[in-house]
Amino acid sequence: MSEVAAKLRELGVSGVLIQAAEQGQITELACQMEKCFCPEELGGRSYFEPVTDGLSDWMPTVEHSPIAKRDGGHRVVGNVLLAHRLCNRVGYSIEADRPYGKDIATVERAREEAIRRQGEEPQP
């Protein structure tokens, strides 16, 4: 099994993303959206939270690409990218010309939270 597939499994991912990783279409655990919104302070593109019922903003999701879901793109290896749930949502909003200010506010809150946590960690 590929290392990325193993890491995705650890996060609770199953299905097509695992297949895509095993077939070498996803070669690193990183958000593959053109624009990733995950704050660097949190870990940026390579930061992922486990898949839970709580549906975290930073859990791995399937982005249909190059053929979008609304254009009939299927959830199959060759048409899927690994994307943060939030980045996936914002990407869709941008293409659909929908407002996404609320998501940007969420990103800023995540950034502030990450900075605050860093400040609390004991200094070496």
What is the binding site for Zn ion (CB under 5 A)? 31, 36, 38, 84, 87
What are 68-72's contacts with CB under 8 Å, separation 24+?
68/95
User: Is there a contact between 87 and 31 (Cβ–Cβ < 8 Å)?
Assistant: yes
The residue sitting closest to Zn ion, measured at its beta carbon, is: 31
Q: Find tokens 């959830």 and name the residue.
A: 75
| Closer residue to Zn ion in complex, CB, 52/119 | 52
| Closer residue to Zn ion in complex, CB, 18/36 | 36
Report in angstroms how near the CB of residue 31 gets to Zn ion at its nearest.
Answer: 3
Report in angstroms how near the CB of residue 59 gets to Zn ion at its nearest.
Answer: 11
Report in angstroms how near the CB of residue 90 gets to Zn ion at its nearest.
Answer: 9
| Closer residue to Zn ion in complex, CB, 101/122 | 101
DSSP class of 2: -
| Closer residue to Zn ion in complex, CB, 54/119 | 54
Report in angstroms how near the CB of residue 116 gets to Zn ion at its nearest.
Answer: 21
CB burial readout 2-41, b (16+ within 10 A) else e: eebbebbeeeebeebbbbbbbeebbeebbbbbeebbbbeb
